[in-house]
Chain A
Amino acid sequence: MLDVLTGFVGELRAAGLPVSMTEAVDAAEAVHHIPLEDRDALKYALAATLVKSSAHWKAFETAFEIYFALRTPHHGADEEGRADGEAEDAGEEQGEQPTGPGTGRGRGGGAGEAMSAEELAEMLFRALLSANDAQVAALARQAVTRYAGMEPGRPVGGTYYLYRTLRNLDLDGMLRRLLETARREAGGNLTALEERLARDEFQVRLDKLRRELEDEIRRRLVADRGSEALARSVRKPLPEDVDFMHATREELTALRRAIHPLTRKLAVRLARKRRHGRKGPLDFRSTVRHSLSTGGVPVDPKFRYPRPAKPEIFVVADISGSVASFARFTLHLVYAISSQFSKVRSFVFIDGIDEVTRFFEGVDDVAEALHRINTEADVVWVDGHSDYGHAFNVFWERWAEEITPRTSILLLGDARNNYHASQAWVVQEMRHRARHVYWLNPEPRAYWGTGDSILGEYAVHCDAVYECRNLRQLELFVSELA
């Protein structure tokens, strides 16, 4: 057990979780106090001692599923199923699946012998409709055997197998069918509210099926290649380290959820910083004034607190496809802490440029404003491919007068200009007029200046250029800005 635990802690550390020595000892001690055959208890005991942040839960769960997938006697039943799967992988693809005798979920599996694709879909449909979890799980195993086409020894993380299985199962179609059935059962007049609730309910069941599939695939992969190897290939970055440019839809959802608490924390921290910056020179007048109450003895020296002026922010963001989500997150973050700035104005461009400050005014829902930017802002001039030169040119003509020495300008984009003219003089002029000009680039540093990226031409005129590939870097930059 201790060996497994050490390996597990090592894996958590490799995944980026800060697990200290004492926490590992705690975990070892905690294991004494729980019944080892109870896998859930083990999971919660380890989570309570090793994971100290909710953002890290997902990474912990993945690692746990891999390390403690099959080693407990509790899961003997699955081991049989896995042996079947392996035999099948080696043999023919459409082979029959002999069910493990006495697995308890044998029913679904037993009926699955030489089952056609339609029958499988039909059974799955019925299991989902009646929310029969055990049967769904059994059918999920069937589906993986049939569709995933797993090859032993291939060093992949399982996403590919999952994709193949899901493509064959057609979950969207399944959801439609489930809804139709629900409608029929209700006698044809389901109110909008009821329909919505039914859809959410079925969505939850489908998500559960999806998780079953993932688990099943992972179980087979562990059996095939061992925990350590698999753990390495499925290791995923923590939410704050996810790359903006390559985030999947799921990861973007996770990021959107993560950004809300983050902005709150940032705002609290900045407000505190402003209040607690006590590094002023001695305020002689005030000290003498206060010394009167102690008979002229300056017991309590008073200091002049610096009151830094709140900066004014202009955000000029490229919102063309490749960098759109980056611009979105930056705008979200800047507006969420806009109380730290005296004024925030935002401009978005692709090859035309438009001011979008109006969308944020009087709206307390930043997400809604961002949505309106995507649909309403006038940012296409000719062909809808990024043209930084033209956009900057227009920006300068229309808004140059409004840049003051208190303004900080943030330019967001990857500077991939599709070989148009750079018009870098605009950035140079901006810098003369504004307090600071920063460029934030969501691309890795190594790619700057390659291909049609002309960041170098702009960079020489900026105060600084930052790489902002993930939330962590973005947060760091914004907290320094305010």
Chain B
Amino acid sequence: MDTTTIKSNFKSEEYFINMGPQHPATHGVLRLLLTIDGEIIKKVEPDLGYIHRSIEKMCERDSYQQIVHLTDRMDYLSSHINNEAVCLTVENALQLEIPERVKVIRTILGELTRLASHQLWWGVMGMDVGALTTYFYGFRDRELINDIFEETCGARLTMNYNIPGGLMFDIHPNFVQRTKDFITHFKTKLPEYDRLLTGNVIFQKRMKGVGILSKEDAISFGASGPVGRGSGYSCDVRKHHPYSAYNQVTFNEVLKTEGDSLARYQVRIEEMWESMAIIEQLIDNIPEGEYKVATNAVIKLPKGEFYQKVETARGELGVYINSTGTKNPYRLKFRSPGFSNLSLLNHIAVGGKIGDLVASMATLDLVIPDIDR
């Protein structure tokens, strides 16, 4: 008997299992329809819509100032950057000249948001592979950023700080000092992350060579952000299409070519260093000036189509506005990073174990409201 006939004599039965919409690994209401053979994943089908709130449709009803506030609720961990994306689109359409001060503050706050998001991701990532302690370390440092936001924006999660034309109000007098203090603090704490999790043998074994995504696949699936860059796909919007003050700073686009879970993990860790470098370059020379330019109380965009993309903590967020010249957009579409990144989950998880699926999903850093909108 050759090996194939021996194998066919053993009956292996695939079965179906429902992961979610309420499951600890899916971080929200993502539902995964898994086809499993023993422990081996045969097929992953994400089922979306459990937190769909038709934000895009609501945008057609709202004025441009109101739309900004809806975007907080998409990718709530990058809420500041989401706000910025809409504001930039509207400002570009109106061809407003934005003061340098606004641009710099937006960039600093954007990078702080990215840091906070990556810290939370790191904590949850550890939890997904079973190291529960990381969660509290991540949250300890994130708390300091939230405090800075609380002081300046008045909110800790849904910032609502950007408005078309600038910022809602000026930064708090403590902002510069507190941000500097945070950077000094976090520079000593980030190596702790590596000591606690990255270097761990079990962690390395869990991540290395798991959930491999090639550069070609990353491009064809539309991967962006750390997921794309972990596969060697240079897709940093801040680098290729600089917006706000990103053309004034020097930073490296972190690229890894391995394409496995560990690469995506390391990209985020190194991005935290880069974010701190960006903030350090800007924090000491925030230009003086106005914190907003006056806009009409009712903003009417000119007739036409406008598109602006920004780099959120998860990847490329695109805002497409189709305007007919009224005070509401005719159609508004968000290109969310999470949606494209989720689409490649089946590709990277098939053939792995259930544990691998959870670990790879954690490195995609999914925020479900961002996918469903």
A and B physically associate: no
B contact set with A: CB distance below 8 Å: none
Residues of A whose CB lies within 8 Å of any CB of B are none
